[in-house]
Amino acid sequence: MEREERNPWRLYLTKDRHQSPTFERLFLLLKLKPAEARVAEIMTAKGIPQARAARVLRKARAHMPPGVSSDFIYVKMFKRIPQIDLEMLFPNTKVAFRPFDKLKLMVTAGGGTVAGVTGTASKLLLVTNPITLAFGIAGLSAVVFRQVMKFFNTRNRYMMVLAQNPYFHSLANNHGALTLIADRAEEEDVKEDMLLYAFLARHPAKYDALPEIKQEAMDFLKEHCGVSVDYDAEDALRRLLADGLVRTDGEGNLTAIAPDEARAHLDTLWDRVLETDSLDHAAARA
Protein backbone atom coordinates (compact mmCIF):
# COMPACT_ATOMS: atom_id res chain seq x y z
CA MET A 1 0.00 0.00 0.00
CA GLU A 2 1.30 3.46 -0.91
CA ARG A 3 1.29 6.05 1.88
CA GLU A 4 2.11 9.75 2.06
CA GLU A 5 3.93 11.35 4.97
CA ARG A 6 5.25 14.85 5.47
CA ASN A 7 9.02 15.17 5.52
CA PRO A 8 10.33 16.75 8.78
CA TRP A 9 13.56 17.74 7.03
CA ARG A 10 11.53 19.99 4.74
CA LEU A 11 9.63 21.56 7.65
CA TYR A 12 6.62 19.29 6.92
CA LEU A 13 5.82 21.37 3.83
CA THR A 14 6.09 18.51 1.32
CA LYS A 15 5.00 14.88 1.34
CA ASP A 16 7.02 11.79 0.51
CA ARG A 17 5.47 8.61 -0.89
CA HIS A 18 6.63 5.20 0.21
CA GLN A 19 5.36 1.62 0.14
CA SER A 20 4.06 0.17 3.39
CA PRO A 21 3.74 -3.63 3.92
CA THR A 22 0.11 -4.71 4.13
CA PHE A 23 -1.40 -7.77 5.79
CA GLU A 24 -4.13 -9.18 3.54
CA ARG A 25 -5.56 -11.09 6.51
CA LEU A 26 -4.76 -10.52 10.17
CA PHE A 27 -5.89 -12.73 13.04
CA LEU A 28 -5.73 -11.07 16.46
CA LEU A 29 -6.21 -12.91 19.76
CA LEU A 30 -6.22 -10.82 22.94
CA LYS A 31 -6.44 -11.64 26.62
CA LEU A 32 -5.89 -9.06 29.33
CA LYS A 33 -3.53 -9.95 32.13
CA PRO A 34 -5.21 -10.44 35.51
CA ALA A 35 -5.23 -7.26 37.58
CA GLU A 36 -3.06 -8.79 40.30
CA ALA A 37 -0.36 -9.85 37.84
CA ARG A 38 -0.40 -6.49 36.06
CA VAL A 39 -0.20 -4.57 39.34
CA ALA A 40 2.82 -6.66 40.35
CA GLU A 41 4.51 -5.85 37.02
CA ILE A 42 3.88 -2.12 37.47
CA MET A 43 5.27 -2.23 41.00
CA THR A 44 8.45 -3.93 39.77
CA ALA A 45 8.89 -1.71 36.72
CA LYS A 46 8.26 1.65 38.41
CA GLY A 47 9.23 0.83 41.99
CA ILE A 48 5.98 2.13 43.46
CA PRO A 49 3.76 0.72 46.23
CA GLN A 50 0.80 -1.53 45.48
CA ALA A 51 -1.89 1.10 46.06
CA ARG A 52 -0.29 3.50 43.60
CA ALA A 53 0.27 0.71 41.04
CA ALA A 54 -3.43 -0.19 41.31
CA ARG A 55 -4.36 3.43 40.56
CA VAL A 56 -2.05 3.44 37.53
CA LEU A 57 -3.73 0.27 36.23
CA ARG A 58 -7.24 1.65 36.74
CA LYS A 59 -6.28 4.81 34.84
CA ALA A 60 -4.77 2.80 32.00
CA ARG A 61 -7.90 0.63 31.62
CA ALA A 62 -10.46 3.36 32.28
CA HIS A 63 -11.15 3.89 28.56
CA MET A 64 -12.06 0.24 27.93
CA PRO A 65 -15.75 -0.59 27.42
CA PRO A 66 -17.74 -1.97 30.36
CA GLY A 67 -17.72 -5.73 30.59
CA VAL A 68 -14.18 -6.20 29.26
CA SER A 69 -12.50 -8.63 31.62
CA SER A 70 -9.30 -10.65 31.91
CA ASP A 71 -11.49 -13.77 32.25
CA PHE A 72 -12.31 -13.78 28.52
CA ILE A 73 -10.36 -14.23 25.28
CA TYR A 74 -11.16 -11.78 22.48
CA VAL A 75 -10.69 -12.78 18.83
CA LYS A 76 -10.79 -10.43 15.84
CA MET A 77 -10.06 -10.71 12.13
CA PHE A 78 -9.08 -7.87 9.79
CA LYS A 79 -8.33 -7.45 6.10
CA ARG A 80 -5.76 -5.27 4.32
CA ILE A 81 -4.20 -3.81 7.44
CA PRO A 82 -1.05 -1.72 6.81
CA GLN A 83 1.80 -2.70 9.10
CA ILE A 84 2.10 0.87 10.32
CA ASP A 85 -1.52 0.75 11.61
CA LEU A 86 -1.15 -2.38 13.73
CA GLU A 87 -1.00 -0.43 17.00
CA MET A 88 -4.44 1.04 16.29
CA LEU A 89 -5.99 -2.40 16.71
CA PHE A 90 -4.99 -2.90 20.33
CA PRO A 91 -7.36 -1.82 23.13
CA ASN A 92 -4.67 0.12 25.04
CA THR A 93 -3.89 2.43 22.12
CA LYS A 94 -3.45 6.09 23.05
CA VAL A 95 -3.89 9.10 20.80
CA ALA A 96 -0.63 10.96 20.08
CA PHE A 97 -0.34 14.02 17.85
CA ARG A 98 2.05 14.00 14.92
CA PRO A 99 4.97 16.46 15.11
CA PHE A 100 3.42 18.58 12.37
CA ASP A 101 0.13 18.90 14.26
CA LYS A 102 2.00 19.73 17.47
CA LEU A 103 3.94 22.44 15.65
CA LYS A 104 0.77 23.83 14.06
CA LEU A 105 -1.06 23.94 17.39
CA MET A 106 1.92 25.56 19.06
CA VAL A 107 2.16 28.27 16.41
CA THR A 108 -1.55 28.95 15.84
CA ALA A 109 -3.22 28.15 19.13
CA GLY A 110 -0.33 29.02 21.43
CA GLY A 111 0.77 32.08 19.54
CA GLY A 112 -2.79 33.32 19.05
CA THR A 113 -3.61 32.87 22.72
CA VAL A 114 -0.49 34.69 23.90
CA ALA A 115 -1.06 37.54 21.46
CA GLY A 116 -4.72 37.84 22.41
CA VAL A 117 -4.05 37.74 26.13
CA THR A 118 -1.22 40.27 25.87
CA GLY A 119 -3.22 42.67 23.68
CA THR A 120 -6.37 42.43 25.76
CA ALA A 121 -4.51 42.74 29.07
CA SER A 122 -2.71 45.90 27.91
CA LYS A 123 -6.04 47.46 26.93
CA LEU A 124 -7.79 46.42 30.13
CA LEU A 125 -5.16 48.19 32.19
CA LEU A 126 -6.22 51.49 30.59
CA VAL A 127 -9.97 50.90 30.82
CA THR A 128 -11.99 52.54 33.57
CA ASN A 129 -15.51 51.93 32.25
CA PRO A 130 -17.00 48.70 33.75
CA ILE A 131 -18.97 47.92 30.59
CA THR A 132 -15.90 48.21 28.40
CA LEU A 133 -14.01 46.07 30.89
CA ALA A 134 -16.71 43.39 30.68
CA PHE A 135 -16.57 43.38 26.88
CA GLY A 136 -12.80 43.08 27.01
CA ILE A 137 -12.95 40.09 29.35
CA ALA A 138 -15.60 38.47 27.13
CA GLY A 139 -13.40 38.96 24.07
CA LEU A 140 -10.43 37.46 25.90
CA SER A 141 -12.56 34.46 26.90
CA ALA A 142 -13.65 33.99 23.29
CA VAL A 143 -10.02 33.98 22.13
CA VAL A 144 -9.06 31.35 24.72
CA PHE A 145 -12.17 29.28 23.93
CA ARG A 146 -11.41 29.30 20.19
CA GLN A 147 -7.84 28.14 20.72
CA VAL A 148 -8.94 25.39 23.11
CA MET A 149 -11.49 24.19 20.54
CA LYS A 150 -8.73 23.90 17.95
CA PHE A 151 -6.98 21.44 20.21
CA PHE A 152 -10.13 19.36 20.75
CA ASN A 153 -11.00 19.42 17.03
CA THR A 154 -7.56 18.06 16.18
CA ARG A 155 -7.91 15.39 18.86
CA ASN A 156 -11.38 14.42 17.59
CA ARG A 157 -9.97 14.04 14.09
CA TYR A 158 -7.39 11.60 15.42
CA MET A 159 -10.10 9.70 17.31
CA MET A 160 -12.19 9.49 14.13
CA VAL A 161 -9.28 7.95 12.22
CA LEU A 162 -8.68 5.56 15.12
CA ALA A 163 -12.32 4.42 14.97
CA GLN A 164 -12.66 4.28 11.17
CA ASN A 165 -9.61 2.15 10.41
CA PRO A 166 -10.75 -0.93 12.41
CA TYR A 167 -14.36 -0.41 11.28
CA PHE A 168 -13.67 -0.55 7.53
CA HIS A 169 -11.05 -3.30 7.81
CA SER A 170 -12.83 -5.59 10.29
CA LEU A 171 -14.06 -8.98 9.06
CA ALA A 172 -15.41 -10.68 12.18
CA ASN A 173 -15.19 -10.75 15.98
CA ASN A 174 -15.04 -13.53 18.57
CA HIS A 175 -17.44 -16.36 17.63
CA GLY A 176 -17.88 -14.93 14.14
CA ALA A 177 -14.09 -14.92 13.60
CA LEU A 178 -13.80 -18.60 14.58
CA THR A 179 -16.72 -19.48 12.31
CA LEU A 180 -15.10 -17.55 9.45
CA ILE A 181 -11.80 -19.41 9.90
CA ALA A 182 -13.60 -22.77 9.88
CA ASP A 183 -15.59 -21.79 6.76
CA ARG A 184 -12.45 -20.65 4.94
CA ALA A 185 -10.68 -23.89 5.85
CA GLU A 186 -13.60 -25.89 4.46
CA GLU A 187 -13.53 -23.79 1.28
CA GLU A 188 -9.85 -24.61 0.79
CA ASP A 189 -10.60 -28.32 1.21
CA VAL A 190 -13.35 -28.08 -1.40
CA LYS A 191 -10.99 -26.31 -3.82
CA GLU A 192 -8.39 -29.05 -3.35
CA ASP A 193 -11.03 -31.75 -3.94
CA MET A 194 -12.39 -30.06 -7.07
CA LEU A 195 -8.91 -29.62 -8.53
CA LEU A 196 -7.90 -33.25 -8.02
CA TYR A 197 -11.29 -34.48 -9.24
CA ALA A 198 -10.88 -32.45 -12.45
CA PHE A 199 -7.43 -33.89 -13.14
CA LEU A 200 -8.54 -37.47 -12.46
CA ALA A 201 -11.72 -37.01 -14.52
CA ARG A 202 -9.63 -35.98 -17.52
CA HIS A 203 -6.82 -38.50 -17.06
CA PRO A 204 -7.37 -41.51 -14.77
CA ALA A 205 -4.10 -42.57 -13.17
CA LYS A 206 -2.57 -44.99 -10.73
CA TYR A 207 -1.97 -44.17 -7.09
CA ASP A 208 1.78 -44.17 -7.72
CA ALA A 209 1.32 -41.24 -10.12
CA LEU A 210 -0.12 -39.00 -7.40
CA PRO A 211 3.15 -37.00 -6.96
CA GLU A 212 3.12 -36.15 -10.69
CA ILE A 213 -0.54 -35.07 -10.47
CA LYS A 214 0.32 -32.92 -7.44
CA GLN A 215 3.12 -31.15 -9.34
CA GLU A 216 0.88 -30.69 -12.37
CA ALA A 217 -1.81 -29.10 -10.19
CA MET A 218 0.74 -26.74 -8.58
CA ASP A 219 1.99 -25.69 -12.02
CA PHE A 220 -1.60 -25.11 -13.14
CA LEU A 221 -2.32 -22.82 -10.18
CA LYS A 222 0.89 -20.87 -10.70
CA GLU A 223 0.27 -20.41 -14.42
CA HIS A 224 -3.44 -19.55 -14.35
CA CYS A 225 -3.86 -18.00 -10.87
CA GLY A 226 -0.40 -16.56 -10.22
CA VAL A 227 -0.04 -18.25 -6.81
CA SER A 228 2.49 -20.73 -5.46
CA VAL A 229 0.97 -23.26 -3.05
CA ASP A 230 1.92 -26.58 -1.50
CA TYR A 231 -0.95 -28.64 -2.84
CA ASP A 232 -1.95 -31.49 -0.51
CA ALA A 233 -3.09 -34.07 -3.06
CA GLU A 234 -3.01 -36.94 -0.58
CA ASP A 235 -5.51 -35.25 1.73
CA ALA A 236 -7.77 -34.37 -1.19
CA LEU A 237 -7.68 -37.96 -2.46
CA ARG A 238 -8.60 -39.28 0.97
CA ARG A 239 -11.75 -37.10 1.04
CA LEU A 240 -12.72 -37.94 -2.54
CA LEU A 241 -12.43 -41.67 -1.82
CA ALA A 242 -14.45 -41.31 1.39
CA ASP A 243 -17.22 -39.42 -0.46
CA GLY A 244 -17.27 -41.92 -3.32
CA LEU A 245 -16.34 -39.36 -6.00
CA VAL A 246 -13.16 -41.24 -6.86
CA ARG A 247 -12.95 -45.02 -6.99
CA THR A 248 -9.97 -47.36 -6.84
CA ASP A 249 -9.46 -51.00 -7.61
CA GLY A 250 -7.08 -53.67 -6.38
CA GLU A 251 -4.39 -52.57 -8.83
CA GLY A 252 -4.32 -48.99 -7.51
CA ASN A 253 -6.11 -47.36 -10.44
CA LEU A 254 -7.84 -44.08 -9.56
CA THR A 255 -10.96 -43.18 -11.54
CA ALA A 256 -13.26 -40.21 -11.00
CA ILE A 257 -16.95 -40.87 -11.56
CA ALA A 258 -18.69 -38.98 -14.38
CA PRO A 259 -19.87 -35.40 -13.64
CA ASP A 260 -23.57 -36.29 -13.99
CA GLU A 261 -23.15 -39.24 -11.68
CA ALA A 262 -21.15 -37.08 -9.27
CA ARG A 263 -23.94 -34.47 -9.17
CA ALA A 264 -26.58 -37.07 -8.32
CA HIS A 265 -24.28 -38.69 -5.77
CA LEU A 266 -23.60 -35.37 -4.00
CA ASP A 267 -27.33 -34.61 -4.02
CA THR A 268 -27.95 -37.91 -2.23
CA LEU A 269 -25.25 -37.16 0.33
CA TRP A 270 -26.82 -33.78 1.06
CA ASP A 271 -30.24 -35.38 1.47
CA ARG A 272 -28.79 -37.67 4.12
CA VAL A 273 -27.25 -34.73 5.96
CA LEU A 274 -30.34 -32.51 5.79
CA GLU A 275 -32.83 -35.37 6.17
CA THR A 276 -35.09 -33.87 3.50
CA ASP A 277 -35.91 -34.42 -0.17
CA SER A 278 -33.63 -32.93 -2.75
CA LEU A 279 -34.54 -29.73 -4.57
CA ASP A 280 -35.04 -31.72 -7.75
CA HIS A 281 -37.61 -34.01 -6.15
CA ALA A 282 -39.37 -31.09 -4.50
CA ALA A 283 -39.56 -29.24 -7.82
CA ALA A 284 -40.94 -32.36 -9.54
CA ARG A 285 -43.74 -32.73 -6.99
CA ALA A 286 -44.64 -29.06 -7.32
Q: What is the pTM of this model?
A: 0.59
* Nearest 10 degrees: Cα torsion 223, 226, 232, 237: -50
Burial (Cβ within 10 Å: 0-12, 13-18, ≥19) of residue 59 = exposed
Gap between the Cα atoms of 270 and 51, Å rounded: 62
Gap between the Cα atoms of 138 and 136, Å rounded: 5
For residue range 176-233, what is the model confidence (pLDDT) as tens digits? Answer: 999 999 998 899 999 999 999 999 998 888 988 999 999 999 999 999 888 888 888 9
Domain range summary for the chain, segments of one domain joined by +: 2-93, 99-171, 189-285
> Cα-flanking dihedrals φ and ψ of residue 182, to 5°?
-65, -40
**Domain at 189-285: CATH code:** 1.10.10
For residue range 141-157, what is the model confidence (pLDDT) as tens digits? Answer: 776 677 677 767 766 67
Pick the closest to residue 53 from 68, 66, 37 (CA basis): 37
Buried b (16+ CB within 10 A) or exposed e, 222-254: eeeeeeeeebebeebbebbeeeebbeeeeeeeb
260 compared with 121, residue with greater pLDDT: 260
Look at the alpha carbons of 152, 92, 72, 44 in this order and tell me if their dihedral is positive or negative.
negative
60 compared with 120, residue with greater pLDDT: 60
Q: Are 49 and 43 in contact (CB under 8 A)?
A: yes
pLDDT value at residue 150: 72
Pick the closest to residue 219 from 193, 236, 188, 195 (CA basis): 195
For residue range 42-99, what is the model confidence (pLDDT) as tens digits? Answer: 999 989 999 999 998 888 888 777 788 888 899 989 888 888 777 777 776 666 666 6
124 compared with 19, residue with greater pLDDT: 19
pLDDT value at residue 116: 61
Pick the closest to residue 177 from 79, 69, 68, 65 (CA basis): 79
Gap between the Cα atoms of 92 and 86, Å rounded: 12
> Cα-flanking dihedrals φ and ψ of residue 5, to 5°?
-140, 145
Instruction: Report angle CA 173, 177, 182 to the nearest 5 degrees.
Output: 170
Q: Are 90 and 30 in contact (CB under 8 A)?
A: yes
Q: What does 166-235 look like in DSSP terms, one character per residue?
A: HHHHEEEETHHHHHHHHHHHHHHHHHHHHHHHHHHHHS-EEGGGHHHHHHHHHHHHHHHH-------HHH
For residue range 223-270, what is the model confidence (pLDDT) as tens digits? Answer: 988 888 888 899 999 999 999 999 998 888 999 999 999 999 998 888
Cβ–Cβ contacts within 10 Å for residue 220, how many?
Answer: 14
Gap between the Cα atoms of 228 and 236, Å rounded: 18
Q: Which of these ranges, 20-29, 237-246, 273-282, has the smallest mean pLDDT?
A: 273-282
pLDDT value at residue 190: 92
Pick the closest to residue 65 from 83, 92, 89 (CA basis): 92
> Cα-flanking dihedrals φ and ψ of residue 282, to 5°?
-65, -40
pLDDT value at residue 195: 93
